[in-house]
Amino acid sequence: MAKYYAESHEWIELDGTTAKLGISQYAADSLGDITYVEIPASGKAVSAGDVLCTVESVKAVSDVYAPVAGTVGEGNADLEADPGALNADPENTWICKLEGVDAGSFDGLMDAAAYAKFVESL
Amino acid sequence: MPYIPNTDADRREMLAAAGFASVEDMWEKAGVKFPAPKLDGIPEGKSEFEVMSYLSGLAEKNATHLINFVGGGYYDHIIPAAADAIAARGEFYTAYTPYQPEASQGTLQAIYEYQTAICRLTGMEVSNASLYDGGTALFEAMMMAAHITGRRQVVISAAVSPIYRCMIECYCRNLDLERIEIPDGHGTDSALDAVIAAVTDRTACVIVQYPNFFGEVEDLGGLVAAAQAKGALAVCSAYPVALGCLKTPGEMGFDIVTGEGQSLGIPLSFGGPYLGFMAVKSKYMRKMPGRVVGRTVDLNGKTGYVLTLQTREQHIRREHATSNICSNESLCALNALIYLSLCGKEGFRRVGELCMSKAVYAREQLLAIPGVTPVGSGAFFNEFVIETPLDGAELVGKLIDKGFAAGFPLGRYYPERKNQILVAVTEKRTREEIKALANAMEALL
């Protein structure tokens, strides 16, 4: 399934009922050099808009929001040693997975084209 | 007034641009009314000599010449003259708070070295730049444990300083935290067992003191393991001078170690300024409150120091900050660093050994007095409890008239210990002073 974006600049990609999510290029660029990614603990149930975890850069701490509801699954352990990977390739570096995701809940999100337009308007 | 750089010419130009004849004209047109202060009753100023004379008279009302055997967390240790001589240097004494590293390398390096010293002293991996005092440091440790574990229950031994427990109780009054206090076991092992038994899988942390408030030294390794087995953090409030001679809390496996640094080259000063220290395991580094100084390299590869991990603090993280503290006790931490550096490892150990041997001697002398009985039979560092036929506060009061601060009357915080006093002995006490105390006490009993 294709990638979808939230207005809060997270992307989410569904595969069956498991989704991978991360932050967009725009978000990574705005944050600056990322120094630490707090991987959320697995097992927690989240609703759309809940804070999943935080990403720290040299100048700020940003909340990462769950674009849709689900249960937090596996976290990307590579980010512990190399948080800079999120700056290098944010669109292809996942932060964590969400389990039990409903494909129907993606209606409020933007596809890549719509998101690109949205970013231009900012 | 002297800090406003505007000249009279600047003011005239501004007034002209705004269309006012004068500043008073501006206030009047703006409808601002100033209250007219009444300064009638204030007497004429006094000369510098008269003021010094008056204030000295007031200061002399303080009993600063009592021979001091009071501890309870704050101790009368020797402070080498060199400590103040170095700390009072203008470069340190009036240095600004180090938010601009390029202008604060001296301060930052000193704090970094202080952090290193605290790690070595406690046997822990990471220290912060210091907190306000031992009591608030213990509170911060408790809150840290609550955040890390997500749990809201805290188990605390009553053998932790009653002053600290009072502070924690005050801070917690409006927080959703369940505090379980375990009564002290009157010098028996049962106290530690009771603390362990109270730890559940809802406990965020267990808090103990080392040596405990009664001066007792206990091996807390078992308690640490039991707490961690239930997913709770083990928090230790420690007396730094004791750590020069005893097994460190780090060796026992504690997760967080805090304490009062006053004993490290800081005068008693009637309650402050004091120095809170905190050291933690590496994995909790990002959850620590307070400032942290880190060492790094600049663009040219030269060593430099900065305030780091500031994303924990409230000026960046706002309501998600680890705590609201954004300062440290820089000058007191500097005194502690200087003191420890001047002592050196061997010297510091020697201070502790003197404290211990003099305490043993003092205890022997006091227990030889008919009517004085020991309380607790276990190992102690430099503080111990004795019981007499007299009420503790009454006895201490009478001994003040004889020139001694003989000890801390425990009945003030432990109602069942009304006739007991806590006696502390430091390297500063001489054989003559100890004998004199024993004689004075014997005469009263």
Q: What pLDDT sits at residue B187?
A: 56
Q: What pLDDT sits at residue B426?
A: 98
Listed range (A91-95, B130-134, B207-211, B270-274) with the worst mean pLDDT: B270-274
**B316 near A CB under 8 A:** yes
Do the beta carbons of residue A8 and residue A85 sit within 8 Å? no
Which tokens in the block code for residue B62?
């303080």
Question: Between β-strands B233-238 and B178-182, what pairing exists: parallel, antiparallel or unpaired?
Answer: unpaired
Of A35, A36, A61, the CB nearest to B317: A61
Whether residue A1 is predicted with pLDDT greater than 80 in this model: the reply is no
Contacts of B356 (CB under 8 A, 6+ apart): B245, B381, B382
Q: Which residue has the tokens 């490290």?
A: B264
Nearest residue in B to A38, CA atom: B286
CB < 8 Å to B317, chain A = 61
Taking the C-alpha atoms of residue A40 and residue A46, their distance in angstroms, rounded to an integer, is 11
Listed range (B182-186, B335-339, B393-397) with the worst mean pLDDT: B182-186
Is the ipTM reported for this complex over the cut 0.90?
no
Flag if B316 and A54 touch (Cβ within 8 Å).
no
- The rounded radius of gyration (Å) of the Cα atoms in chain A is 13
Mean pLDDT of B216-240: 97
Do the beta carbons of residue A100 and residue A70 sit within 8 Å? yes
Q: What pLDDT sits at residue B186?
A: 65
**B283 near A CB under 8 A:** no
* Alpha carbon of A89: minimum distance to chain B alpha carbons (Å): 23
What amino acid is encoded at B30 in this protein?
A: A
Q: What pLDDT sits at residue B326?
A: 77
Which tokens in the block code for residue B41?
């009753």
* Alpha carbon of A5: minimum distance to chain B alpha carbons (Å): 25
Flag if B320 and A36 touch (Cβ within 8 Å).
no
CB < 8 Å to B308, chain A = none
At residue A3, φ and ψ (nearest 5 deg) are -85, 140
Q: Which H or E element spans position B436?
A: helix B431-444
Whether residue B319 is predicted with pLDDT greater than 60 in this model: the reply is yes
Flag if A54 and B320 touch (Cβ within 8 Å).
yes
CB < 8 Å to B320, chain A = 54, 61
Q: What pLDDT sits at residue A76?
A: 92
Taking the C-alpha atoms of residue A60 and residue B310, their distance in angstroms, rounded to an integer, is 9
CB < 8 Å to B311, chain A = 35-36, 56, 60-61
* Alpha carbon of A24: minimum distance to chain B alpha carbons (Å): 22
CB-facing half-sphere around the CA of B120: CA atoms within 13 A:
14
**B11 near A CB under 8 A:** no
Q: Say how many C-beta atoms besides its own lie within 10 A of residue B361's C-beta.
A: 15
Q: What pLDDT sits at residue B138?
A: 98
- Identify from B147, B148, B311, B316 which residue to disrupt to test chain A contact, counting A C-beta atoms within 10 A and taking the largest count: B311
CB < 8 Å to A61, chain B = 311, 316-317, 320
CB < 8 Å to B316, chain A = 59-61
Mean pLDDT of B386-392: 97
Nearest residue in A to B307, CA atom: A58
Whether residue B421 is predicted with pLDDT greater than 80 in this model: the reply is yes
Q: What pLDDT sits at residue B253?
A: 98
| Closest by CA position to B327, among listed B129, B164, B140, B142 | B129
User: Residue A2 — very low, low, confident or very high, per pLDDT cuts 50/70/90?
Assistant: confident
For a pLDDT cut of 70, what percent of chain A falls above it? 99
Flag if A36 and B311 touch (Cβ within 8 Å).
yes
Flag if A54 and B286 touch (Cβ within 8 Å).
no
**B286 near A CB under 8 A:** yes
Whether residue B75 is predicted with pLDDT greater than 70 in this model: the reply is yes
For a pLDDT cut of 70, what percent of chain B falls above it? 98
Chain A residue set in contact with B, beta carbons under 8 Å: 35-36, 54, 56, 59-61
